Structure 1
Amino acid sequence: MTIRLRPHHLLCLLTYVGKGYSADFTRNYDAIAGRLSAGETIRIVDGPDDICTPLLDDPTAHCRNESIIERDRKAADDVGRLLGASIEPGVTMEIGPELLIASRTAFRLGQTRTACAGCEWSDLCTAIASDGFAGTLVN
């Protein structure tokens, strides 16, 4: 199978340690982290993705907000620069060990964090990156 991810979740997966918006959200993200760690392919999508699924029954879920769409755009630009490739809907990729290391290094150095401005999880992600990504679930 292929995991559908919106661009800003390419950054979120780097620091995911099992914390989330709800128990259902966390269970779902834990399963996705396991699939990513096993080498499952990612397909970039526009809008809510497989990580968002547990939130979508709520008509006010932030997944559809313009601010999140803008976050996706910024993340696609930053990750695209890092990879030297266009990050847009339909693109497929795998997060292998080399890409994970390069992505985490760029994240820790602030080179791919434009999309993180204003995110409620930013301080936690900064702390995780500063601690060498200890405890993260995508390996």
Structure 2
Amino acid sequence: MTIRLRAHHLLCLLTYVGKGYSPAFTVNYDAIAERLSRGEDILLVSGPDDICAPLLDGADPHCRNENVVERDRLAACDVGDLLALPIQPGVRLDLDAAILARMRQAFSVGGVRKACGGCEWSELCGAIAVGGFAETKVQRSVLQD
């Protein structure tokens, strides 16, 4: 199977430790993190994705807001530059151990965090990065690849 992700969620998955907007959101994200850890590929999409799904039934879900679309744009630029890959809807990405490590290293030094400005989770994500990404849910080892 393939996991549908919007561009800024490529950054969010780096620090996801099991916290979220609601219990349903967290259960869903835990399942996605497990699938990513097993090596399922990513299909980049525009707008709400598989992570957003539990939020879409609520009144005025934030995942449709213009500031979230801007986060996608900023993340696509940063991650695309880092990986020298087009980060745009329709592109498939294999998040192998090397790419995950490269993205986390860049995140930890602020190299791919333009999209994080104004995000309510930014401080938590920064602390997780400082802690060496301990206890993050998305893990890939060289042996899995």
State the TM-score, normalized to the length of structure 1: 0.99
Match of 1:129 in 2: 129
CA distance in 2, matches of 1:122, 1:85: 25
CA distance in 2, matches of 1:76, 1:7: 5
* 1:28-43 correspondence to structure 2 within 5 Å: 28-43=28-43
CA distance in 1, matches of 2:27, 2:96: 23
Consecutive unaligned residues in structure 1, runs of 5 or more: none
CA distance in 1, matches of 2:129, 2:84: 23
Aligned CA RMSD, in angstroms, stands at 0.4
Aligned-pair CA distance for 1:86: 1.1
Aligned-pair CA distance for 1:85: 1.3
Consecutive unaligned residues in structure 2, runs of 5 or more: 140-145
Per-residue Cα deviation, 1:32-87 (whole angstroms, up to 9, x for no partner): 00000000010000000000000001131100000000000000000000011110
Aligned-pair CA distance for 1:117: 0.3
Match of 1:6 in 2: 6
- Give the percent of matched residue pairs that are identical in Structure 1 and Structure 2: 64
The DSSP-based 3-state class of the residue aligned with 2:33 is: helix
How many residues matched?
139
CA distance in 1, matches of 2:128, 2:103: 14
The DSSP-based 3-state class of the residue aligned with 2:85 is: coil
1:117 paired with 2:117, answer: yes
Moved over 3 A (4+): none
Match of 1:17 in 2: 17
CA distance in 1, matches of 2:3, 2:134: 24
Match of 1:72 in 2: 72
CA distance in 1, matches of 2:137, 2:58: 26
What letter corresponds to residue 100 of structure 1 in structure 2?
A: L
CA distance in 2, matches of 1:88, 1:138: 22
Match of 2:83 in 1: 83
The DSSP-based 3-state class of the residue aligned with 2:110 is: coil
